[in-house]
Amino acid sequence: MGRVRGARVMVAALVMVAPLALVGCATRSAPRFVTPSPVTPSQPAEPFELAITPAEDAKNVPASAEVGATVRGGKITSVRLAEVGGPTVRGQWREDGSSWVPAVPLKHAKRYAATVTATSSAGETVTKTTTFSTMARPSSLTGTGLYLHDGGTYGVAMPVVVEFVPGVPAKQRAAVQKRLFVTTDPPQPGAWHWVANGTQVYYRAPEFWRPGTKLSVRVAVGGHPTGSGRYGDTDRSATAEIGEKLVMTVDNATKKMSVYRGDKLVRTMPVSLGKPKTPSSSGTMVVMEKKTKTVFDTFAELGPEEGYRTNIEYAQRLTWGGEFIHAAPWSVGDQGVRNVSHGCVNLSVANAAWLFNQTKVGDPITVKGTEVKLVAGNGWTAWNLPWDEFVKGSALPVTVRAEPAPGASGSTTP
């Protein structure tokens, strides 16, 4: 059986042994007799007990059901879950051993039998079976999304981004978060952070991912309660890789962008940022999507006087609100001198084309010195908070763990 790896807490018992006392003779005329201390009887063996869930004959169990098992005086040695009259379901234990998680959602309106065997320290075995029925397919669903494509390569600031439509209510987030699994290789610790309205949750490490890291993600919410009578629409999963480190910084004071590859400065370019009426956001953003050619149409947002419809080349989205890095041949004379954009980072066509060919989705850009700060949730803002603030957005306690041994496979518990 596999296990979802993570930290464990082990308690060691210390046994204190007192030295034997030496008894001397007081006189030579009479022997001294020492009454032996009473022998303390050995403690009875801990009771060997096994309890499992769901309860026998439970009905309307969610399709995300896990097999729970608690044992006293022994350890679990096997778990088998199968549809009654149907196939066996694969799965693995949670890191803390509290439950066994099926690898896929269970089928709706089906009966399942879970059989768990435990073995005591004396070699005695006990087996228990529970049979339960899953609920019918729910009619009210929460739409889900995972902004990570299987087999994709991303920048070092790529957060794991899970989306929920509508958002998950605060009281339900802990239970949903327990169904979000991330494994990193090489191992790196990480945590989840919910945006205020519950529509997205981000996962990141304390620092940018190491280049070459493999991210394996499972959003195991298919059939899982998401609040307000809704259930997750489906499970989603992906395995992706973190590519070469590329970082961009923009300083409004100098109106220049600096590009670093592997922490080495490779290019500096003049930019024009948002004018005072429509300033660019200061903060750390992430490239969210890239389009060689697109059309910006802002009449609905900005009105007939400020609005425009323009063909754009080499566009790289930074916020949901419409801030991009892009080519702006009309502002070349202003680049490096003054800000004239509607919030975007303007580059010459040549510079924008060069940058477009260097970057990946997930590459970070930090803008500083503008009139406004980046709003949380306006884009993938996971890196715009220091770690101690970021972890406060988790619906579950975040445990700080020591770095695993080099070469070990690493994972995090939800």
Task: Give the catalytic positions in this structure.
Answer: 326, 344
Q: How many CB atoms lie within 10 A of CB 154?
A: 23
Asked if residue 372 lies in contact with residue 313, where contact means CB atoms within 8 angstroms, the answer is: no
Strand order in the sheet with 246-251: 264-270, 256-261, 246-251, 364-368, 281-286, 372-373
In eight-state DSSP terms, residue 19 is P
Residue positions counted in the chain: 414
Dist. CA 158–CA 389, nearest whole Å = 18
Cα 106 from Cα 135, distance rounded (Å):
10
> What residue type is assigned to position 60 of the chain?
N
For residues 271 and 255, the answer to whether their CB atoms sit within 8 Å is yes
CA distances from 372 to 75, 280, 375, 406 (A): 57, 7, 9, 42
5-22: b (≥16 Cβ within 10 Å) or e: bbeeeeeeeeeeeeeeee
Contacts of 401 (CB under 8 A, 6+ apart): 6, 7, 189
